[in-house]
């Protein structure tokens, strides 16, 4: 039952939901086993359907699935969770990771798998979170999600200066977007870990940097100029 309820005076509101980890959610069977690792099991097509009228609470990090079709509602529990899929298709459904009134303060990670020859969904494409007549709520802690570099970040530098102050937690992963052409064959964007934030939030020390190519396709030196940077 996924209907809201409360006492006679309407002082409390609650929902009856089905927990992903519960056998009762899957008709008495164990939760779907999903696929193996992407490297070892790329041909797996095991999928999950949440039908209209059903509300499922994602209370565990499930294995990888090919397609997650949401016609009902999927709500992330208030804990660190990781969802792995090739396609998420919301067809009249609802996905909730925190709300405006009750933001999500944990780590929610969605990894979408695919390659240049993946099958494309009509209109939406591949490696996608697709929404057709659906609703999606994603609300985390209020903070600056992206900003711009105040000064050029040369190759080899381990800190960046930003236009806007940030309060990104230590350990967060950020992306520094490239300012030149990017394709699926060549990416000059960089991914790094926040080590510290100083200077009123405008200087961020970085570690574990996945460095963009030091040479372009033409063999010329390259660096990350005044571009955008934001939380991954």
Residue pLDDT tens, the chain, 232 long? 444 455 555 566 677 899 999 999 999 999 999 998 888 888 889 999 999 999 999 999 999 999 999 999 999 999 999 999 999 999 999 999 999 999 999 999 999 998 888 889 999 999 999 999 999 999 998 888 889 999 987 777 889 999 999 999 899 888 888 776 655 555 677 889 999 999 999 999 999 887 544 333 333 333 344 445 556 5
Residue 142: partners with Cβ closer than 8 Å, 6 or more residues away: 103
| pLDDT, position 74 | 98
| pLDDT, position 103 | 94
- Distance (Å, rounded) from C-alpha 231 to C-alpha 146? 6
Fill in the DSSP letter of residue 75: E
| pTM for the structure as a whole | 0.74
| pLDDT, position 135 | 97
Centroid of chain to Cα 157: 27
| pLDDT, position 187 | 62
């Amino acid at each position: 039952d996924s209907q809201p309820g409360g006492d006679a005076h309407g002082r409390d509101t609650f929902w009856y939901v089905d927990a992903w980890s519960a056998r009762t959610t899957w008709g008495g069977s164990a939760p779907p086993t999903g696929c193996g690792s992407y490297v070892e099991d790329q041909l797996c097509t095991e999928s999950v359907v949440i039908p209209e009228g059903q509300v499922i609470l994602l209370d565990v990090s499930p294995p990888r699935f090919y397609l997650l079709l949401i016609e009902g509602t999927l709500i992330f529990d208030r804990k660190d969770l990781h969802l792995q899929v090739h396609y998420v298709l919301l067809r009249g459904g609802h996905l909730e990771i925190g709300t405006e009134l009750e933001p999500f303060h944990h780590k929610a990670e969605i990894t979408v798998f695919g390659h240049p020859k993946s099958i494309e969904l009509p209109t939406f494409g591949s490696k996608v979170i697709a929404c057709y007549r659906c609703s999606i709520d994603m609300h985390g802690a209020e903070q600056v999600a992206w900003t711009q570099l105040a000064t050029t970040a040369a190759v080899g530098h381990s800190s960046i200066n930003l236009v806007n102050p940030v309060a990104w937690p230590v350990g967060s992963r950020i992306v520094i977007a490239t300012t030149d052409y990017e394709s699926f064959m060549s990416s000059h964007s960089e991914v790094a870990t926040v080590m510290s934030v100083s200077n009123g939030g405008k200087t961020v020390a970085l570690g574990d940097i996945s460095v963009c190519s030091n040479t372009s396709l033409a063999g010329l030196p390259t660096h990350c100029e005044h571009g955008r940077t934001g939380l991954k």
